[in-house]
Structure 1
Amino acid sequence: MRRLASAAVLTGLMAGPAAAAELNLSVEIPRMSVAEYHNPYVAIWVEKPDQTAVKTLAVWYDIKLRNQEGETWLKDMRQWWRRAGRAMDLPADGVSGATKAPGRHQVRFVGGKAPLGTLPAGQYNLVVEAAREVGGREMVRIPFQWPPKAPAAGQAKGETELGAVSLSLKP
């Protein structure tokens, strides 16, 4: 099942120096009362308004399975897999990480450093997609302008596999 949550448009954004800019993200993984629970695989990436993937920022999956078996299930994050995942060499240094338990998880990216790197100035969407074994799949988008000239924030909320997802930008 695919759900796309709407996102509030960010305000207060103008062009500025990208090297010092920060992108801070909070991703909530909801606690579920189900018989068989598995932590979700999560992909976080930046795309252009036409949904062309630009940069994968993080991929949380089971990196400890033998023979890289965890990578086999990455294709369940269908949108990320089609747009960026299948072209990546995994595990990707600074991008790949273990799955996360229910709760709020903070991630910080700095302009000029990997994986955000030298993202050109422009309008983008931050996308978070989650897929869970014996569960569903969900994706949210938050539009933003890079680099920010003033502090800005945006948020989206999933309905099942993702809770609140919030983005804050600092020049």
Structure 2
Amino acid sequence: MRRAVTALFPTLIAGPALAGEVAVSVEIPRLHVSEYHRPYLAVWLEGADGAALANLAVWYDVRKKEGEGGAKWLKDMRQWWRRIGRETDLPLDGISGATKPVGAHALSFSTDAAPFAALKPGHYEIVVEAAREVGGREVLRLPVSWPPQAGARAEARGTSELGAVSVGLKP
């Protein structure tokens, strides 16, 4: 009887299929400068034509109120600001967050949720941009093909404001 039930409803016995994952790792390097500020950082998805499709993360000083400078430095992330930032009403629920300290930080997204669930097959880029008050600015682009293939991965390394950045795709 169990064999017949398993043949008809394999997910009831074996468990539900797991959703795929887009994992982004961003390293913020330790900088030896006299006046250090944590970087503002934006991660977004672009199409092959360079059009911004969705914000994935925006880290800035969310504690400061408008007028006190909380969002003032967002414009320093120039590519993000021009492509998608100026049209974004912040804070974005589940996307906006506080700046992060030195170290590696992980972001994880389900392939069954927005914006990935609606992606058509093709080539895309996950873009990471960081800018610091009294500091520099850096942009890294990681190409990805959709839908994800088993074990697909893209890596890049920054030279100033970003360390190692990677994207891992699991179907």
Closer, same or farther: CA 135–159 of 1 in aligned 2, 3 Å: same
Distance in 2, matches of 1:112 and 1:154, equals 20
Contact 2:24 2:108 in 1 (8 A): yes
User: TM-score w.r.t. structure 1 length?
Assistant: 0.84
1:43 aligns with 2:42: yes
Residue 103 (structure 1) shift: 0.4
SS in 1 for 2:118: coil
SS in 1 for 2:80: helix
Question: Is the helix fraction higher in 1 or 2?
Answer: 2
Distance in 1, matches of 2:149 and 2:168, equals 12
Contact 1:109 1:115 in 2 (8 A): no
Distance in 1, matches of 2:117 and 2:58, equals 16
Contact 2:47 2:124 in 1 (8 A): yes
Residue 118 (structure 1) shift: 2.5
- The size of the alignment, in residue pairs, is 153
Distance in 2, matches of 1:90 and 1:156, equals 28
Aligned to 1:95: 95
Aligned to 2:29: 30
SS in 2 for 1:67: coil
Residue 21 (structure 1) shift: 2.2
Contact 2:42 2:129 in 1 (8 A): yes
SS in 1 for 2:23: strand
What amino acid is the match of 2:139?
M
Gaps of 5+ in 1: 1-18
Gaps of 5+ in 2: 1-17
Identical positions, percent: 57
Q: Which has the higher contact order (CA 8 A, sep 6+)?
A: 1
User: TM-score w.r.t. structure 2 length?
Assistant: 0.84
Aligned to 1:150: 150
Distance in 1, matches of 2:94 and 2:113, equals 10
Residue 48 (structure 1) shift: 1.3
